[in-house]
Structure 1
Amino acid sequence: MTEDNSTLFDRYDIQISNTERRNSSIAIQDCYIVYLIECRPKASVSNNKDSESTCVFRRYSDFETLRNYLVAKYSWVIVPVLPEKTISHTWSKSHQDRTSVEVVERRRVLLERFLHHLCAHPTLSADTAVQTFLLQNDGWKQIVDTSHVLNKSESLIPSFKLNLMQHERTKDKRFSDAYQYAIDLNTVLYNVLRARAKLADRIFIFYQAHNQLGRLFSEWSTTEDKLGDSLQRAGHFLDSFSGQIEEYLHEEDALMDFLKHQASYCDVIKSVVEKHEQLVDDNSKQETSLGTKRTQRDAYANGKMNFSVNSLKLKLFGENEETRYAKIESMDSDINDAVLHCQNADIRVKEFNKNAIIELDFYKTMKEEQMREILRSYCLLQARIAKAALKSWTNIRDSFSTEQAPL
């Protein structure tokens, strides 16, 4: 770590420059993809002797482990999301094989984007595991394992999920609104993705139908004399028209990957809200425990204990004052400890809320900018498709001009 507050993104040009297919050591027929991460010092820090270019290979599962560690350690942070592991919400002719060249390239782009967002975040970028993950071949897994944050977070999941079902959602409107926003946004985005996938299938079928029309025009050209050359030319352009859409739809798929990326953030937002609820629930339990201890202490001091075998013995045989005072002092000590626990729990909730709200506000700003970029790119792509179609139909129209030379 440097002495200033700059992030890894400020100090390095980070890119996934290459991918490599490797065979699994367990099963020969299985293979996996590794990604080459290159970090080059930027000009502003290139003179620093501690900054040098590095290259490391990482698997997708390595990215998953690192992200799970960051989610567990920084529960208030909206940790950047990874690309989906299984292809979903795509058109029927899209590339489905996870190790195909097209899918690997799309995943490479999204993993690089993940690293950029990760390294631009002040808190995450400063984590030793993140820096070791990017700048050293080994050592980052040991940092993750020795932190034990993954084991701790997994041990809390069963009881916490049960608590979520047993009580109402948080009464803090900021968090309840964020949770509902995540649900609504997730629903809308996946509806858009499903609708686009259906539309892509129909567009593909529409374009492919013109391939048959092109063949018919070519057959027709053999029966004509002067019109034959024009029909043959038109059939050629129809074939070209029908074949151009597949490349555009694959490009559209890559844009939809970014939209799926945004949908994945909805689960991250919900996990932040759920962590807030867990802390509030813990705080409430601490306060309830404190109230119970105070009630028991007052009852004991006033001789109004609830019925039990011990209380019955005390009433029958009495209790010396020394024992009585020692018992009250012990109960006062327990109460003081409970007060301290309540104060610490309250501090944790307030600190978490402060940081989480900053994260949520930052995410909304970032999300709006990225959504605008995605939708602009989608519109530009549709304009390119329309221009290509217009050019094809203009050529088909011109094919029937009497001045056209034969192919």
Structure 2
Amino acid sequence: MSEDYVEWDVHATNDALTPRVEYDDPLSQFSESESRYYSPYVVAAAQNTPPLPPIIPSSSPILDSMDSLPTSTTPPTPTTKLPFVPPKSKPVELGKIEAAPMDIAISDPQKHQDATQGAFITYLVTTNTQVEHFHSSTPRPVRRRYQDFVWLHTTLSLEYPACIIPPLPEKHRLEYIKGDRFSSEFIQRRQLSLQWFLDRIARHPSLQKSQCTRIFLESNDFKNDKRAQVLNIPHTTSIIDSISDTLVNAFAKLKKPDERFEDMKDQISKLEDNLNTVEKLYYRINKRQLDLQNDYTSFANSIQGLSALETNITNSLHQFAETSKAYSKAMKDMTDVEEMQFLNEIHELLAYCHAAKDVLKARDQKQLDFEELSVYLHQTVQLRDRTQYPGRKYNDRGMAAGGLYISDYVTDKLNEVRGVNMERARREKLGKLELRVKELQDEVTKANDDSNAFSNQVIKEFEVFQKTKMLELKQGLLAYADCHIKFFEKGTEIWEKVLPVLESMDGIKGDGPTDNN
């Protein structure tokens, strides 16, 4: 048997077509019997129609309309040979790819004033790395403003659509922005968030090797280099972009959802729910700490007022009041560190979850594109077959069922009345449909390959997401524990200083009457 043909046998049982050669998908969650893909035009070819190259996806969810074939009323041809079009690309092999060591530090924020652009802040970015394509393992420090970070995020999103691109700070939840954008608190928060952004890129095995990343981290002519890099990013379009909204519907559902990616969505949703719960509980704790700070301040003011009445222990009471104020300030400092390091990290993790869900939605859209294109191809093949054999009616599975379509009959009669050359019109229409079918066959194969490659990359991305999530959760909890430990150590030191003053009060005699008994 020629390598360019696949021989199909027709069994008496269920009149189903079964290929002798099966194609296994190592990533498919379906059984072996479900992994055999049938195309409607393959069935039509078994009904003595001219051979047509079938599309046999290497691995993709099976459409509901193609899972099984109904019983045909016309006896099928015993054996039909059809040319086989192999997939254009193989699925990407899954494997653990570790990121090369890379350390990026952001420091020294400076305010600049420009006559045209106004005021803006730049940050000093220093890199140490072992990524091969960098010109040096210790590139010269560069200064970047926030808009440069936006450029890096945008270009990485275009270059790696299947990657989870770390989100930028303040671009996801604006309610976290506090104060003027040139205030020290705002700059400190933004610097810390930008540091998390670059740390995630540094830990990503693909993003750290991007030319966009290299240009951002070491280019001394950043303005011209970034313009040239954007021009080098390919922008591809396919037939799926030209199909009407009736075919590609953003609200359409997948016919065969992949359980692996559905499980990923569930895990991310549960993580989001837990992070939102932690955030709500932290706000409750933070409110109680704020109330406690105010109570200590009020307590200190009351002691201060008492010292004015007790003139013999005024100094001792004054020192105790100052100690209470110092303790309240230490508690405020602890709360500020919590918000800066722990709470902000919770917000960044939530934004990271949103970015991961966006990638999963894009993967679903890739699969949906394949499914919708396959249905569109099925409909086009049916129209071609009705045009080629006007005396035969095909059912919804592409099989001959006898009779005529009433729409085709009415159209033919109207054309006859108008004096249209029916044979010539049929040949022209058939030629256009043949070209359309061939184009759609190529697009279905391409959409299938794109969907497989995208899915493989998303699986790797989820592994990176899990590692990053665990590392950042550990860092956030350690920061939370450290700031509390430092607070209690400082609180102990504060109160120990006032103990000698309080103990000395035992020897102080008051002005009032004493008991001589």
**TM-score range relative to shorter protein:** 0.7 to 0.9
How big is the shift at 1:400? 2.5
Is contact 1:169–1:277 with CA below 8 Å preserved after alignment?
Answer: no
Q: Deviations over 1:196-230 (max 9, x none)?
A: 23432431232232223223323323433554443
Distance, in Å, in 2 between the alignment partners of 1:337 and 1:377 is 58
Matched, 1:296 2:386: no
Residue range with higher mean Cα deviation, 357-366 or 310-319: 310-319
SS in 2 for 1:39: strand
Code of the aligned partner of 2:196: R
DSSP-derived class of the 1:244 partner: helix
CA 1:298–1:148: 2 relative to 1, 3 Å: closer
Among residues 159, 174, 182, which one is paired with 1:99 in the alignment?
182
CA distance change for structure 1 residues 269 and 51 in 2, over 3 Å: closer, same or farther? closer
Report deviation, 1:371.
Answer: 0.7
User: Which residue pairs with 2:202 in the alignment?
Assistant: 119
Q: 120, 125, 134: which one pairs with 1:37?
A: 125
Q: 1:219 aligns with which of 283, 305, 308?
A: 305
Q: Secondary structure at the match of 1:303?
A: coil
User: What TM-score do you get using the length of structure 2 for normalisation?
Assistant: 0.65
1:356 aligned residue = 458
- How many angstroms apart in 2 are the aligned matches of 1:311 and 1:297? 19
The structure whose Rg is larger is: 2
Q: How far 1:193 moved relative to its partner?
A: 2.5
Instruction: Name 2:401's counterpart in structure 1.
Output: none
- Asked whether the 8 Å contact 1:9–1:116 carries over to 2, the reply is no
2:226 corresponds to which letter in structure 1?
A: W
Shift of 1:359: 0.7
Distance 2:228 2:295 in 1: 57
**Is contact 2:254–2:368 with CA below 8 Å preserved after alignment?**
no
Q: Distance in 2 between matches of 1:224 and 1:217?
A: 10
Residues 110, 7 of structure 1: alpha-carbon distance in 2 compared, 3 angstrom cutoff: farther
Contact 2:254 2:367 in 1 (8 A): no
The residue that corresponds to 1:20 in the other structure is 110
* Aligned-residue offset at 1:71: 1.8
2:160 is matched with: 74
By how many angstroms is 1:13 displaced? 4.5
**CA positional deviation for 1:264:** 0.4
Q: Tell me whether 262-271 or 327-336 shows the greater mean CA deviation.
A: 327-336
Distance verdict in 2 for CA 1:96–1:396, change over 3 Å: same
Change (3 A) 1:119 1:234: closer
1:85–1:20 distance in 2 versus 1, CA, 3 Å: farther
SS for the counterpart of 2:249 is helix
Q: Distance in 2 between matches of 1:395 and 1:95?
A: 36
Q: 1:192 to 1:239 in 2, by over 3 A?
A: same
- The correspondence of residues 155-170 of structure 1 with structure 2, limited to 5 A, is 163-167=249-253
SS at match of 2:168: coil
Task: Provide, for residues 272-296 of structure 1, a one-character-per-residue CA deviation record: whole Å limited to 9, x for no partner.
Answer: 1111121122112211121112111
Aligned-residue offset at 1:130: 2.0
Gap runs ≥5 in structure 2: 1-96, 392-404, 509-517
Name the amino acid aligned to 2:203: A
Against the structure 1 CA distance between its residues 119 and 311, is the aligned structure 2 distance closer, same or farther, given a 3 Å change threshold? farther
Asked if 1:182 is matched to 2:265, the reply is no
Q: Which residue of 2 aligns with 1:3?
A: none
Pair 1:400 & 2:502 matched = yes
Q: How much has 1:378 moved relative to structure 2?
A: 0.9
What is the CA distance between 1:147 and its match in structure 2? 3.1
TM-score by length of 1: 0.80
Q: Which residue of 2 aligns with 1:377?
A: 479
Deviation at 1:60, TM superposition (A): 1.1
Distance 2:109 2:428 in 1: 71
Give distance in 1, aligned partners of 2:279 and 2:182: 23
Deviation at 1:189, TM superposition (A): 2.2
Once the 2 structures are TM-superposed, how far is the Cα of residue 370 of structure 1 from its aligned partner? Answer: 1.7
| 8 Å contact from structure 1 (residues 170, 176) kept in 2 | no
SS of corresponding position for 2:141: strand
Residues 188-203 of structure 1 correspond to what in structure 2 (within 5 A)?
A: 188-203=274-289
Query: Using a 3 Å threshold, how does the CA distance of structure 1 residues 243 and 86 change in structure 2: closer, same or farther?
Result: farther
Please tell me the residue identity of whatever aligns with 1:247. Answer: D
Aligned residue pair count:
388
Matches within 5 A, 1:323-334: 328=430, 331-334=433-436
Please report how far the alpha carbon of residue 133 of structure 1 lies from its aligned counterpart in structure 2 after TM superposition. Answer: 1.7
Counterpart position of 1:259: 346
1:4-45 deviations in whole A, cap 9, x for unaligned? xx99963x6432232211124347xx5221122233566x98
Paired with 1:54 and 1:333, the residues of 2 have a C-alpha distance of 56
- Return the alpha-carbon distance in structure 1 between the equivalents of residues 178 and 426 of structure 2: 78
Distance 2:490 2:319 in 1: 17
Q: Offset of 1:165 from its aligned partner?
A: 2.9
Higher helix share: 1
User: 1:311 deviation in Å?
Assistant: 6.1
CA distance in 2, matches of 1:376, 1:170: 43
Q: CA deviation at 1:269?
A: 1.3
Q: Answer with 194-203 or 323-332: which moved more.
A: 323-332
Q: Distance in 1 between matches of 2:432 and 2:172?
A: 58
Alpha carbons 2:200, 2:468 under 8 Å: kept: no
Flag structure 1 segments of 5+ consecutive residues without an equivalent.
1-5
Residues 332-341 or 237-246, more deviating:
332-341
CA contact (8 A) 1:69 1:150 kept: no
Q: Partners of 1:150 and 1:218 in 2: how far apart?
A: 74
State how far apart, in whole Å, the 2-side matches of 1:170 and 1:196 are: 41
Cα displacement (A) at 1:343: 1.4
Structure 1 residues 238, 348: CA separation in 2 closer, same or farther (over 3 Å shift)? same
Query: How far does residue 271 in structure 1 lie from its aligned partner after superposition?
Result: 0.9
* C-alpha distance 370-71 of structure 1, shift in aligned 2 (>3 A): same
- Change over 3 Å in CA distance of 1:97–1:326 after alignment to 2: closer
When structure 1 is superposed on structure 2, of 288-297 and 181-190 the one drifting more is 181-190
Percent of aligned positions with the same letter in both sequences?
19
Q: Which moved more, 1:326-335 or 1:54-63?
A: 326-335
